[in-house]
């Protein structure tokens, strides 16, 4: 039998084997409510950020476990969600783009996170943005092509709303208006209700779905994906008014790094939107407006997420439901002179993660352990009493859930285009920028203990630390074409 044939058959074998054991104890297994947030940097009131107004996520953190140092692997939406759903580090260049799931899923869909739950007796549902394309389809307007991750969801959809297509709702402006690429402003504050923007429609659909699931004899895995605070920073005016732009501090380090660096020209922010000739780099008022818009979009999303949590409580589902709130990556608001993600700095890869389940010890006590997105897959399987597929990259976070002071079992790894890689330990972040020919790789090393803003590259001063961290990078795969 050829290797190619074996590759096709292997996922089928995994499904068959898992189906054999899927029914035992299904009624006793907890439900899973997975709340995905788009582009939320690690700034919550629960993290002590004074200007953050995130009361619903803060309340979830008070009843669950907040992971204050959770890191995603790839600083763009589709690729980050690939690592979540596959539970493995990237090993191909195709895994680094927003089309990572659709272009590679044929090799791993049957052993993906939702497929594994489905094979073990769970009903699986995906609402909003869980994979890269809202609703899970590809093609024209993200609505007419094949499924992005086929055969894993019992239902994958977006709510019926004023926005006519998944592409339009992803970048939605008030009352159904789609984005005009390169022309629409990167912010909007409409003086109207929460239903003027998409996340309120996602929340309403999620509440209705929970009502339908309330009496289900079958355990369920329900993933709900919110769109904000992803660009455009658009929200009802009241959420803008909640934030005084003068009270949102400017980043401590807004200087473009010298030498080899991850700086880029913020193409998503500058090229996909019109700015009427303004630029936050030389217009402080515009920079304050952008930070206010991001904060407003965050608070708006937080309120919609809270509606879903309220419904879970009202339906008395909390006693048998795991709740996870996760963001696919962070976002820089002028740090390193970057407005966006697409780099390997701390604010791009660090994002919120909260896990709550019935009987959680020490609820409300955060953990500072360094953890990664690939740890979520094995953690959910562990907590739900399910076997794991082979070759997952992460480890269960049960130790940190049971004891917040438990140490990190491993560092956090990140990957980006051009062969760039990073490793984050308790104290250090090393970023390696490959160079061609006989040139040695460019290095950025930051001591996050004394320099949390990554303002000073100390690679030349700490050669032993560099070698130790480069050795850790040998534990992750090289990316092949």
How many CB atoms sit inside 10 A of residue 435's CB? 13
Q: Look up 132 and say whether it is catalytic.
A: yes
Could you tell me which of 297, 209, 201 has the C-alpha nearest to residue 248? 297
Task: Confirm whether 77 is a catalytic residue.
Answer: yes
Of the candidates 132, 329, 347, 433, the residue annotated as catalytic is: 132
Q: Which of 53, 70, 73, 77 is catalytic?
A: 77
- Catalytic machinery residues: 77, 132
């Amino acid at each position: 039998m050829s290797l190619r044939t074996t590759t096709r058959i292997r996922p089928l074998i995994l499904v068959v084997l898992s189906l054999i054991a899927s029914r035992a104890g299904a009624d006793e297994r907890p439900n899973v409510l997975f709340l995905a947030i788009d582009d939320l940097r690690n700034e919550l009131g629960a993290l002590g950020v004074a200007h953050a107004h995130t009361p619903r996520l803060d309340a979830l953190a008070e009843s669950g476990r907040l992971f204050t140092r959770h890191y995603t692997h790839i600083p763009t939406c589709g690729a980050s969600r690939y690592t979540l759903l596959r539970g493995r580090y990237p090993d191909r260049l195709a895994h680094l783009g927003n089309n990572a799931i659709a272009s590679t899923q044929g090799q791993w869909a049957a052993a993906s996170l939702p497929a594994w739950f489905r094979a073990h007796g769970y009903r699986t549902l995906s609402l909003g943005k869980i994979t890269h394309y809202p609703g899970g389809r590809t093609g024209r307007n993200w609505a007419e092509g094949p499924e992005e991750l086929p055969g894993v969801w019992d239902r994958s959809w977006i709510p019926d709303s004023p926005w006519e297509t998944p592409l339009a709702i992803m970048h939605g402006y008030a009352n159904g208006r789609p984005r005009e690429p390169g022309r629409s402003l990167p912010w909007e504050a409409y003086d109207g209700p929460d239903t003027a923007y998409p996340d309120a429609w996602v929340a309403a659909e999620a509440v209705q779905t929970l009502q339908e699931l309330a009496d289900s004899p079958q355990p369920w895995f329900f993933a709900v994906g919110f769109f904000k605070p992803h660009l455009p920073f658009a929200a009802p005016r009241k959420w803008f008014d909640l934030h005084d732009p003068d009270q949102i501090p400017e980043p401590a380090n807004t200087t473009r790094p010298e030498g080899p660096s991850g700086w880029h020209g913020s193409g998503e922010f500058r090229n996909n939107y019109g700015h009427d000739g303004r630029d936050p780099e030389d217009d402080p008022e515009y920079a304050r407006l952008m930070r206010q818009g991001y904060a407003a979009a965050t608070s708006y999303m937080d309120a919609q997420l809270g509606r879903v949590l309220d419904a879970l409580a009202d339906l008395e589902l909390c006693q048998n439901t795991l709740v996870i709130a996760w963001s696919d990556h962070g976002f820089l608001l002028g740090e390193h002179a970057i407005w966006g993600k697409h780099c390997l700095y701390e604010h791009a890869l660090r994002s919120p993660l909260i896990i709550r389940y019935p009987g959680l010890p020490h609820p409300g006590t955060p953990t500072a352990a360094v953890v990664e997105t690939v740890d979520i897959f094995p953690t959910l399987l562990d907590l739900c009493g399910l076997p794991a597929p082979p070759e997952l990259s992460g480890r269960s976070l049960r130790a940190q859930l049971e004891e917040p002071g438990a140490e990190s079992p491993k560092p956090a790894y990140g990957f980006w285009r051009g062969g760039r890689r990073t490793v984050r330990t308790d104290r250090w972040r090393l970023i390696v920028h490959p160079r061609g020919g006989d040139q040695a790789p460019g290095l950025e090393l930051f001591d996050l203990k004394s320099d949390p803003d990554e303002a000073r590259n100390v690679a030349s001063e700490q050669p032993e630390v560099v070698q130790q961290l480069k050795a850790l990078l040998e534990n992750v795969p090289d990316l092949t074409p």
